[in-house]
A and B are shown apart, each in its own frame.
Chain A
């Protein structure tokens, strides 16, 4: 059981700056994120797209913003738990007990949800029949490529993940690559390599086709793919891989007894607290009159939520507002003064 003053769910820009504010006022905190990397939507959705409305930063990409925020956290010791989703949040006296998909548990008076639009999950195939084969002979990511050796693998998608795996697996497997249109959005060199392998008979390419059905009992035996003109082809397949990117799902947050409005959580604008004492929501996931889904709003919300955390984490101390320009306390925490 990990004990901490505050637990932040979500390692996007809002979660990172909230951590900065917590550490600055002398609280400790840990951060959990379902992605395998830090940065949230900035890294997953638009690492290379420039952002122009961060105050005092005329232009920066999602990746640069994330790196700058991490630099700003350098003076502090913050534990990140990546690749873990928070599954359960339960009240125990004055604390919240939090359990993650990775088997970690936390005891904390403060939980700050900085979850964007929820956790990122893979986009799935549309036919219902695909579900029963999931993680058996149908996958949305590759954990162990050796299982595909000598087998027929049907890979769906038109981006780098689909192309990279088609190229890699074509060495030892019979590969079908299926995509909904003729153009591929992967890197030019990767697309060219795939066409070479197609020419050499190493990859069977099917464009303008989409998944229509899967057949089999315990394991997949074959799949039906449907052309834009409605023609259906049956392909023998031992395994199916789908690479359609990630989608944001609210997930287990919906079960924590919070006031939800569509996919957002209602908060007050003093502490950014939800209807549950000690649970806050900041950034894109929170909602209040006038809410703007801007990164700068998330920074403000996190700063206020951090002050609210102080009261519950240090009930016998008084929080005193200080400036980083002048406060010896703050400068010590920032490592700027002995």
Chain B
């Protein structure tokens, strides 16, 4: 199974195996990784599963769909490598993906 690394804002690192087909958000929520709220449950409607993708990974991810950039306008401190983790679907290609979790979601 692909391994995904989540770095929290207080410098804790969690590397976990996430099943193909789940989202990076679900991987975090199901493993109780703090800092990803996902209030709307993955509907791209709340911007509380916001992460900063490691620079070298950003361009390897499938592009954002319509609406994700709009939601990122509302995220807490968005940056150029911001994504909504509910929109990143885990696959073997994403083995080793690393994301940083912002200090807050709202």
State whether the Cβ of A74 lies closer than 8 Å to any Cβ in chain B. no
Query: Among B12-20, B55-63, B73-81, B84-92, which stretch is in contact with chain A?
Result: B73-81
Q: Is the CB of A180 within 8 A of B73?
A: yes
Q: Is the CB of A245 within 8 A of B43?
A: no
- Nearest-neighbour CB distance to chain B for A88, whole angstroms, equals 24
State whether the Cβ of A247 lies closer than 8 Å to any Cβ in chain B. yes
The chain B residue with its CB closest to the CB of A284 is B41
State whether the Cβ of A181 lies closer than 8 Å to any Cβ in chain B. yes
A183 vs B71: C-alpha distance when bound (angstroms): 12
Q: Is the CB of B46 within 8 A of A126?
A: no
Contacting A45 at CB < 8 Å: which of B40, B70, B78? B40
Q: Is the CB of A248 within 8 A of B70?
A: no
A159 vs B67: C-alpha distance when bound (angstroms): 12
**Chain A residues with CB below 8 A from B73, complex form:** 157-159, 179-181, 185, 244-245
- Nearest-neighbour CB distance to chain B for A188, whole angstroms, equals 14
Number of B residues with CB within 8 Å of any CB on chain A: 19
22 intermolecular pairs with C-beta atoms under 8 Å apart: A45-B43, A45-B46, A117-B39, A123-B74, A123-B76, A123-B106, A124-B106, A126-B104, A158-B70, A158-B73, A159-B70, A185-B69, A228-B80, A244-B73, A244-B74, A245-B47, A245-B73, A248-B46, A249-B106, A263-B37, A263-B39, A284-B41
Q: Is the CB of A126 within 8 A of B39?
A: no
Q: Which of A145-164 contact B (CB under 8 A)?
A: 157-159
Q: Is the CB of A183 within 8 A of B69?
A: yes
Contacting A245 at CB < 8 Å: which of B41, B74, B78? B74
State whether the Cβ of B48 lies closer than 8 Å to any Cβ in chain A. yes
The chain B residue with its CB closest to the CB of A117 is B39
State whether the Cβ of A28 lies closer than 8 Å to any Cβ in chain B. no
- Nearest-neighbour CB distance to chain A for B37, whole angstroms, equals 7
Q: Is the CB of B45 within 8 A of A180?
A: no
Given contacts A46-B45, A247-B46, contact A126 B77 (CB under 8 A): yes
State whether the Cβ of A293 lies closer than 8 Å to any Cβ in chain B. yes
Q: Which of A210-263 contact B (CB under 8 A)?
A: 210, 228, 244-245, 247-249, 263
The chain B residue with its CB closest to the CB of A245 is B74
Residue from B73, B80, B104 with most neighbouring chain A CB atoms (10 Å):
B73
**Chain B residues with CB below 8 A from A126, complex form:** 76-77, 104
State whether the Cβ of A170 lies closer than 8 Å to any Cβ in chain B. no
State whether the Cβ of A95 lies closer than 8 Å to any Cβ in chain B. no
- Nearest-neighbour CB distance to chain A for B45, whole angstroms, equals 4
The chain A residue with its CB closest to the CB of B82 is A180
State whether the Cβ of A119 lies closer than 8 Å to any Cβ in chain B. no
The chain A residue with its CB closest to the CB of B71 is A245
A180 vs B70: C-alpha distance when bound (angstroms): 11
